[in-house]
C-alpha cells in the first residue's frame, strides 16, 4: 500500500504532459526532389526538431549493412540543421545508376551555447521492407517517359485515379504543374492535400518536379514552399535535361495584377517574372537546352486567356521561347482541356497543351518522336500531340 501511495504522489506531482509526451518520429516522407545525373535532394519531416542524415549505397545486390555506408547530413554553411523539415542534398553520384537509401534523424532536446543534448533516433524502416531505390538520369538515354498532373486542389481520390494509369516500370519522372492545393496555410495541408498520397504511390523512388501554380502562392505558409520542394539551383524556375528532353520549368506566379485586393498588398510577381525572363534569356543559350532533340516548357499559366498573368507569360516568356525554338508548352490553370496550335497572329510558335483538372498527360520520347497523350479519369485518350526532334 505504501508503494502504491508513493506511485500516486509521483504521478500527480509530475510535470504536466510528462506522461502524454508524443514519441519522436518521422511524420512524412521521404521523397525525392531535384534528381539529376549526379545528385538528388531527399526530403522528409519529423514531429520534433532534429539533425538529419542519409545513408546511401548503390543498388548492386550487396547487403546494405555489408559495410559502413556514406552518411550525408542536412547542413547549411558547415552547420548541421536543427529542424523538423529535413532536406539532404547528395552530390557526386554516377549517371544512370541505381541507388538505395535510408533516412535518419536524431532529436535535439536542447541547444545552449556549446552544449547540445540529443534524444532518440528515428529512421526509415529497413528490416521488414526493402529500402527505396532510385535511378539517376542518363544523359545519353534515347528514350524517356514522363507524366503530368495539375490543378488537383486537394482531391486525393482523383490523384490516385489519374496516377493509377501510369506504368511505373517505364516512367522516369512526374511533374506537378501547379495548384495541387487550394492555398498554403500550414505544413499539414501540404501532406494531407497531396504529398502523402504521392509518396505512397511513387515519390520515394521516382522523382517529382514542381512547377508552382498561383494557388501555392496564397496563404501565410506560401513562403515556406521551397523548404518542401527544393531545386538544385534554389530557384523555382530551372532547366532539367534528361535523355533527349530538356524541360524548361517556369514559375508563372499569380494570375491577377499585383495590386489586386485579393493579395492584400503582398504580391510582387511582375518584377519576379521580369527577373525570371532575364534568367530565361541566358538559360536558353546553354548546351543542355540547345543540343536537346526535344525542348518542352512546363508552365502552370498558359499564354492566352486575357488575364494579367496570362498576358505576362505571353509578353515576357513566349518571345524568348519562340526565338530559342521551344517545341511545346504544357500548362494547366484553366480546369479544362485546350490545345492551341501555332497559327497566324498567335504570339506562340509552338503548340500549347492545357491539361484539365480531370486528366493526365503521359508522354514518351525516343529517336523518332515525342508522343504526348491526354487521358481522362476513366483512362480514355482524349487528345494527343506529336513533336518531331529538332535538327
More confident residue, 334 or 19: 334
Looking at residue 10, what is its pLDDT?
Answer: 41
Residue 174 has pLDDT above 60, yes or no: yes
Looking at residue 65, what is its pLDDT?
Answer: 86
Q: Which sign, positive or negative, has the C-alpha torsion 185, 187, 188, 191?
A: positive
Half-sphere exposure of 30 (CA within 13 A, CB side): 30
C-alpha cell at 262: 485579393
Q: Is the pTM of this model over 0.95?
A: no
CB atoms closer than 10 angstroms to residue 347: 15
Q: Pick 26-134's CATH classification: 2.40.50.140, 2.10.109.10, 2.60.40.10, 3.20.20.70.
A: 2.60.40.10
Nearest to 355 by CA among 230, 195, 145, 213: 213
How far apart are the two ends of the chain, measured CA to CA in Å? 90
**C-alpha to C-alpha distance for 246 and 239, rounded to whole angstroms:** 7
- The domain locations on the chain are 26-134, 139-387
Residue 312 has pLDDT above 70, yes or no: yes
CA distances (Å), 17 to each of 11, 20, 272, in order? 11, 5, 46
Looking at residue 12, what is its pLDDT?
Answer: 43
Q: How far is CA 154 from the centre of its chain?
A: 16
Looking at residue 128, what is its pLDDT?
Answer: 64
Contact between 371 and 363 under an 8 Å Cβ cutoff? The reply is yes
Given pLDDT bands bounded at 50, 70 and 90, which one contains residue 6? Answer: very low
The pLDDT > 70 percentage for the chain reads: 94
Looking at residue 57, what is its pLDDT?
Answer: 96
> Do 26-134 and 139-387 show the same overall fold?
no
Residue 310 has pLDDT above 50, yes or no: yes
Helices then strands, counting H and E runs in the chain, come out as 9, 21
Peptide bond into 112 cis (omega under 30): no
Residue 3 has pLDDT above 90, yes or no: no
Q: Name the least confident of 3-12, 155-164, 248-257.
A: 3-12
More confident residue, 132 or 10: 132
Looking at residue 2, what is its pLDDT?
Answer: 42
Residue 284 has pLDDT above 90, yes or no: yes
Q: Tell me what percent of the chain is helix, strand and coil, each rounded to the nearest 5.
A: 25, 35, 45
> What is the secondary structure of 194-228 as a DSSP string?
IIHHHIIIIITTS-EEE---SGGG-STTGGGHHHH
Residue 333 has pLDDT above 90, yes or no: yes
> pLDDT tens for residues 131-155?
999 999 998 999 999 999 999 999 9
Q: How far is CA 386 from the centre of its chain?
A: 26
Q: Name the least confident of 62-66, 156-160, 319-323.
A: 62-66
> pLDDT tens for residues 87-102?
999 999 999 999 999 9
Looking at residue 344, what is its pLDDT?
Answer: 78
Given pLDDT bands bounded at 50, 70 and 90, which one contains residue 158? Answer: very high
The pLDDT > 90 percentage for the chain reads: 88
H helix intervals, the chain: 2-13, 156-163, 187-190, 196-198, 225-228, 269-283, 287-290, 308-312, 318-323
**C-alpha to C-alpha distance for 137 and 143, rounded to whole angstroms:** 11
Sheet of strand 359-365: strand arrangement: 208-210, 173-176, 144-149, 359-365, 370-376, 381-387
Residue 11 has pLDDT above 60, yes or no: no
Reduced to 3 states (helix: H, G, I; strand: E, B; else coil), residue 384 is strand
Residue 20 has pLDDT above 90, yes or no: no
**C-alpha to C-alpha distance for 126 and 273, rounded to whole angstroms:** 44
**C-alpha to C-alpha distance for 387 and 366, rounded to whole angstroms:** 11
Give me the residues paired with residue 52 across strands: 105
Q: Pick 139-387's CATH classification: 3.40.228.10, 3.60.21.10, 3.40.50.2020, 3.40.50.720.
A: 3.60.21.10
Amino acid at each position: 500500500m505504501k508503494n502504491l501511495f508513493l506511485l500516486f504522489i509521483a504521478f500527480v506531482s509530475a510535470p504536466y504532459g510528462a506522461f502524454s509526451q508524443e514519441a519522436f518520429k518521422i511524420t512524412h516522407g521521404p521523397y525525392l526532389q531535384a534528381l539529376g545525373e549526379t545528385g538528388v535532394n531527399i526530403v522528409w519531416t519529423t514531429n520534433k526538431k532534429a539533425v538529419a542524415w542519409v545513408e546511401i549505397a548503390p543498388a548492386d545486390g550487396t547487403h546494405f549493412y555489408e559495410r559502413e555506408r556514406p552518411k550525408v547530413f542536412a547542413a547549411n554553411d558547415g552547420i548541421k540543421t536543427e529542424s523538423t523539415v529535413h532536406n539532404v542534398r547528395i552530390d557526386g553520384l554516377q549517371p544512370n545508376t541505381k541507388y538505395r537509401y535510408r533516412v535518419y534523424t536524431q532529436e535535439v532536446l536542447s541547444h545552449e551555447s556549446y552544449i547540445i543534448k540529443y534524444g532518440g533516433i528515428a529512421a526509415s524502416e529497413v528490416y521488414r521492407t526493402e529500402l527505396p531505390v532510385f535511378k539517376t538520369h542518363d544523359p545519353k538515354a534515347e528514350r524517356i517517359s514522363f507524366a503530368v498532373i495539375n490543378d488537383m486542389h486537394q482531391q486525393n481520390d482523383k490523384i490516385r485515379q489519374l496516377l493509377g494509369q501510369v506504368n511505373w516500370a517505364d516512367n522516369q519522372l512526374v511533374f506537378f504543374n501547379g495548384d495541387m492545393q487550394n492555398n498554403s496555410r500550414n505544413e499539414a495541408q501540404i501532406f494531407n492535400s497531396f504529398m502523402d498520397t504521392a509518396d505512397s504511390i511513387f515519390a520515394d523512388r521516382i522523382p517529382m518536379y514542381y512547377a508552382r501554380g498561383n494557388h501555392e502562392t496564397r496563404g501565410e505558409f506560401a513562403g515556406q514552399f521551397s523548404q518542401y520542394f527544393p531545386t538544385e539551383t534554389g530557384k523555382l524556375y530551372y532547366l532539367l535535361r534528361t535523355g533527349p528532353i530538356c524541360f524548361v520549368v517556369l514559375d508563372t506566379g499569380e494570375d491577377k495584377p499585383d495590386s489586386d485586393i485579393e493579395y492584400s498588398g503582398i504580391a510582387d510577381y511582375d518584377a519576379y517574372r521580369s527577373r525570371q525572363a532575364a534568367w530565361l534569356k541566358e538559360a536558353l543559350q546553354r548546351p543542355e537546352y540547345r543540343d536537346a532533340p526535344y525542348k518542352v516548357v512546363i508552365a502552370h499559366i498558359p499564354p492566352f486567356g486575357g488575364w494579367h498573368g496570362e498576358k505576362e507569360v505571353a509578353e515576357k516568356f513566349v518571345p524568348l521561347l519562340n526565338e530559342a525554338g521551344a517545341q511545346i508548352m504544357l500548362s494547366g490553370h484553366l480546369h479544362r482541356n485546350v490545345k492551341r496550335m501555332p497559327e497566324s497572329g498567335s504570339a506562340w510558335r509552338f503548340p500549347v497543351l492545357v491539361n484539365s483538372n480531370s486528366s493526365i498527360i503521359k508522354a514518351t520520347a525516343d529517336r523518332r518522336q515525342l508522343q504526348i497523350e491526354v487521358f481522362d479519369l476513366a483512362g480514355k485518350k482524349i487528345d494527343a500531340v506529336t513533336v518531331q526532334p529538332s535538327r
